[in-house]
Structure 1
Amino acid sequence: MNPSTYADRFDGHRAMNDLIRLCSLGPRPAGSEAMERQRGIVAEAFRSHGAEVSIQEFEGVHPLSERTVRLANVVGSWRPERPDRVLIGGHGDTRPRADRERDPTRVLGPFLGANDGASGVAALMELARHLTELPGSAGVDLVMFDAEELVFDEVGDYCLGSCEFALRARNQERAGGPSYAAAVVLDMIAGREMCLTREGFGRDYAAWLTEDLWNVARNRGTSRFSDDWGHYVEDDHLPLLGIGVPAIALVDLDYPQWHTLDDRPEACDVGAIEAVGRVVLEWLGRWASLPESPGKTGLLDNENRE
């Protein structure tokens, strides 16, 4: 199967419907009842499309009350028996406060996180619909990370869920279990004006992976990926880089509604999430079709590419 044709199956309208459904739960900060309901929705979406689903439960500390917060990542695994794996992830929690609101009376309003939270998860849900037919035999994990931003006005620690995931992944590999050849994090990928730039840490420490995704985007002719250098972003790819997994973040930090109450579904665009989803799905299809992991040379430079 041609990876480009296969990737065209990613349906931006379905992904937007999932985004709207998640936002209908209301704000979904880590530890909330709404976040727990979202976990159930995502786990069922993964399971219904052929994944082996696991829930990674762990605990965090609320940065203000110092109370214990129950947290959990949702992991969907396709071809779980495969030792060499690829990870696509995104955080599901929403910021506890809309801390970029200039009006102090709005800071505590209901932050829905349509782009900053729901867009990455909605993309994972749409990707899940196509992984049973993924070309080749590579193993793929989709992960919804918890507690990426359980932070109040910069009080607290970022990326608790991906830190927990990375710790378990490292221990698993050391025990002779599977390992990750690459990871892509999806965060804020549906903004109406989105044009993704190359995030700094991924560019510096996983340059070949950055170029792989950008080459796919370039070959597809999408205008949603820019060749410009972007910001250095503290995101869920950093804990993965920290354990030696090549990882990048697709993140639109120039989103005008970032951390404001205007981060709602109407600020999101079908074309944006579809463009990113199709690039990621084509990249996955090309990767999975290779007889061996392409390594740091980049999969589109491999002589076995289609």
Structure 2
Amino acid sequence: RRQIDYLKEELAKYGWTCREQGFEKETPQGPVRFVNLRARFGKTPNFLDPVRGLLTCHIDTKQGIDGFTGANDGASGAAAILETARILSGEPARAGNLELVFFDGEESFAEHMDSDDGLYGSRHYASAMQQPLPKWMINLDMVGRQGKKIRIPSMTPQSMYRVYSRAIRDLGYSTEEWGVSGYAILDDHVPFMERGVDTLNLIDDFQDGNWWHTSKDNIGILGEKSFQQTGEMTLHILRQLLPDQPAT
């Protein structure tokens, strides 16, 4: 509750209006109440109006791990989106064609995610989308680690791969830090991909090092450079995908 209230307060400072999307799902621990948070730009946006794209992350933290705070795996994506929202408030035409979504329930209740356990928030949101669907979605997951190795999934559509590759070239980023995975990745982009939405999942190589889902994932592993690059990358891609003109 405190986390969602904090996100609402910060987004309101930059002119974004939030709406909670609550739902209940059956889990290995029984029925659980989840809450996604949606945000659109402006004082009285109509959340039923179509938008061109979505910028998303997850805000839940995996349970049952001693000392685990989820600084990178969860919090970093939300932090990057808050700063992106602040900057986009100065570009209202773009902001008006975008919805920000903070997913609950990305993590599984069992040790490992599978088709039935995990991605609760994104599955619910994607299944509830009405036509016309967004053209694309960008998901940020684990984007703040010092020495990060972002690897987009091998199944990324060509349309999104092109804007990603162009951003790497234009920004002069290292392909060691910004590359492509050799395999598919199960994350919050998948339910949207299954509905035909073009997706781009910016995710750290969680097998690089021994921090993932351990107490080592704390604020000490985060780096200013990683957040700066993630923000610049996200903005560069959004500016390619969103026209600089009023939403229609």
TM range (shorter): 0.7 to 0.9
Query: 1:198·1:230 contact (CA, 8 Å) conserved in 2?
Result: no
Q: Aligned partners of 1:63 and 1:94: how far apart in 2?
A: 16
Given the alignment of the two structures, is residue 38 of structure 1 paired with residue 14 of structure 2, yes or no?
Answer: no
Given the alignment of the two structures, is residue 207 of structure 1 paired with residue 158 of structure 2, yes or no?
Answer: yes
The aligned amino acid for 1:180 is: P
The aligned amino acid for 2:215 is: L
**Superimposed CA distance per residue, residues 44-70 of structure 1 (whole angstroms, 9 cap, x where no aligned partner):** 222221112110000123413x2x221
What RMSD over aligned residues (CA atoms) do the two structures have, in Å?
2.3
**Superimposed CA distance per residue, residues 206-232 of structure 1 (whole angstroms, 9 cap, x where no aligned partner):** 222022122112211122643444442
Could you say which structure has the higher helix fraction? 1
Q: Aligned partners of 1:60 and 1:151: how far apart in 2?
A: 12
**Superimposed CA distance per residue, residues 81-125 of structure 1 (whole angstroms, 9 cap, x where no aligned partner):** 663421010000111133xxxxxxxxxx13101100000011111
In the other structure, the counterpart of 1:276 is 230
Query: 1:186·1:249 contact (CA, 8 Å) conserved in 2?
Result: yes
Q: Aligned partners of 2:183 and 2:231: how far apart in 1?
A: 21
In the other structure, the counterpart of 1:74 is 37
Number of equivalenced pairs: 237
2:12 to 47, 64, 71: 47
Q: Aligned partners of 1:135 and 1:292: how far apart in 2?
A: 8
Give the TM-score normalised by the residue count of structure 2. 0.87
Q: Aligned partners of 1:133 and 1:288: how far apart in 2?
A: 14
Q: Aligned partners of 1:71 and 1:259: how far apart in 2?
A: 21
Q: Percent identity?
A: 29
The aligned amino acid for 1:221 is: G
Highest Rg: 1 or 2? Answer: 1
Q: Secondary structure at the match of 1:266?
A: helix
Segments of 4+ moved more than 6 angstroms? none
In the other structure, the counterpart of 2:171 is 220
**Superimposed CA distance per residue, residues 180-208 of structure 1 (whole angstroms, 9 cap, x where no aligned partner):** 11101000111112122231232xxx222
Q: Which runs of 5+ in 1 are unaligned?
A: 1-35, 99-108, 294-306
Query: 2:163·2:240 contact (CA, 8 Å) conserved in 1?
Result: no
The aligned amino acid for 2:142 is: M
